[in-house]
Chain A
Amino acid sequence: MSIKKDQIVVIVAALLFCSAIYTVFVYAPTERVMGPIQKIFYFHLSSALVAFLSFFTAFVSGVLFLIRKDLKWDVVGVASVEIGLVFTTLVLITGVLWGRPVWNTWWTWDPRLTTSLILWFIYASYFILRSSVERQDKRAVFCAVLAIVGFVDVPIVFLSARLWRTIHPVVIRAGSIDMAPAMITTLLVSLGTFTLLWALLLYHRTRTLTMAGRVKNLEKRLDGGIL
């Protein structure tokens, strides 16, 4: 991406963020039962879906790495897991802040909450594994396998509120969304904004991590007197 294109995308993302805030706080109606705290939902759900998208990308990158043995897929995997972990952290914290006034508790071992926390631990362990294996090729294989196996928890998180008894609300059901049209529009604007932000972050992190790998190799060659 050229610098000019890059700047245009950043400006579009900033404008989308402003419109997302406008739709959340001005356009979307206040929910009757929960009141203003329900407005946290738009960024909470968008963060969750973007985190799932990240882990799906890491899963695909893991599969592609194991098939092609090309380290570029390892880099895409690291960037995806990193971004996914950031958004999962945001989901957990905003969930806690939403749950306290609505459920009258900071945390409950509800299936949706528990499986989400497990998801966070799985992908946090990805970085522990990464820092504990010295050899680059082995590290990439182990991390690809973890990204593939860890992805099993994503559909479990998504389906947990449907499969088990839970206090977590389910708004998206097969064929319908239990929300007012203005709320659906607000959710779509938030989701679009977060998806664009995710794409931007993934692009830049992948580029930075690829560059970092090249610089490290050059430094090694310089130290070894090859250059």
Chain B
Amino acid sequence: MSSELFLIAGYMVIWGGVFGYVFFAARQQHLLAARVQVLEELIKEKEL
């Protein structure tokens, strides 16, 4: 494998890692928002 291919692989790892982590963090936020919505509905039901 040439030096350029290792360079491309290196930058792919960096971008993949950074975007993968950002995606993971965004997904966690999204799941949390869904849990908050369920909680709000449950509290509303209890209040009624």
Contacts and interface: CB of A to CB of B under 8 A. Distances in A.
Interface of A: 34-37, 39-40, 43-44, 47, 83, 86, 89-90, 93-94, 97-98, 100-101, 197, 201, 204-205, 208, 211-212, 215, 218-219, 222, 227
Interface in B15-46: 17-18, 21-22, 25, 28-29, 32, 35-36, 39, 42-43, 46
A204 B3 CA distance: 37
Given A90-B18, A100-B6, A219-B39, 17 more contacts: A35-B3, A36-B3, A36-B4, A36-B7, A43-B10, A43-B14, A86-B18, A90-B13, A90-B14, A94-B13, A97-B6, A98-B6, A211-B32, A211-B36, A212-B32, A215-B32, A215-B35
The prevalent SS among residues of A at the interface is helix
B41 to A, nearest CB: 11
Contacts of A227: 43, 46
A40 B43 contact: no
A100 B7 CA distance: 11
B13 A93 contact: yes
Given A40-B10, A101-B3, A89 B25 contact: no
**Most central of A97, A100, A227 by chain B CB within 10 Å:** A97
A101 B8 CA distance: 13
A33 B11 CA distance: 20
Contact of B10 (A35, A89, A97): A97
A204 B42 CA distance: 27
Interface of B is mostly: helix
Given A36-B7, A40-B11, A204 B32 contact: no
A97 B17 contact: no
A197 B15 CA distance: 12
Contacts of B14: 43, 47, 90, 94
A208 B32 contact: yes
Contact of A205 (B3, B4, B6, B25): B25
Contacts of A100: 1, 6
Given A94-B13, A197-B18, A208 B28 contact: yes
A94 B13 CA distance: 7
Contact of B25 (A35, A97, A204, A215): A204
A94 B10 contact: yes
B25 A201 contact: yes
B5 to A, nearest CB: 9
A211 B33 CA distance: 9
